[in-house]
Amino acid sequence: MKSFIKEFREFITDGNIIDMAIAFIMGGALQVLLKALVDDIFMPIIGIFTGAVSFADIVWQVGPAQIKIGSFISAAITFVLTGLIIFIMVKAMNKARALTGKTDDDEADDETELAVLQAIRDELAEQNKINTHAKSNQS
């Protein structure tokens, strides 16, 4: 059970999971902002041209069913704007990475190189212990 808790603590405190949590929270805040923009600014302007008081109130009546086309179009516009903003943010981040000259592959290579160097260090330390122990036994 202790190893499970330790492993979970490492998972939670890992930088990637924290970055993902921050991105999730920011995405939620962005979604609320875009929904307000679409519902409170874009839809009334579109409503002026369509003659409806509120674009979200545009409904097609098919028998007893109501097809809320205005709500769907509002959600679709919010989705497209969200995708556009995320695309722009990713493009800007990729450009910033290109300016620094460091890619994800470089980071992976750095981690691999670090692991190899640590293994060499540990091996040398072990050999040093063996040599020191052998010399003390010879004396």
30 with 82: CB under 8 angstroms?
Answer: yes
Q: Is 87 exposed, middle or buried (0-12, 13-18, 19+ CB in 10 A)?
A: exposed
Model confidence over 24-71: pLDDT tens digits?
Answer: 888 888 888 888 888 888 888 877 887 766 666 778 888 999 888 888
Q: What is the mean pLDDT of residues 116-130?
A: 84
Within 8 A by CB and 6+ apart from 60, the residues are 66, 67, 69
**Six-digit token pair at 74?**
């509002």
The pTM score is 0.52
Within 8 A by CB and 6+ apart from 82, the residues are 30, 31, 34
CA distance 103 to 133: 45
CA distance 73 to 79: 10
DSSP helix/strand/coil, 62:
strand
HSE of 53, CA atoms in CB hemisphere, 13 A:
1
138 pLDDT band, cuts 50/70/90, is: low
Residue-averaged pLDDT of the chain: 79
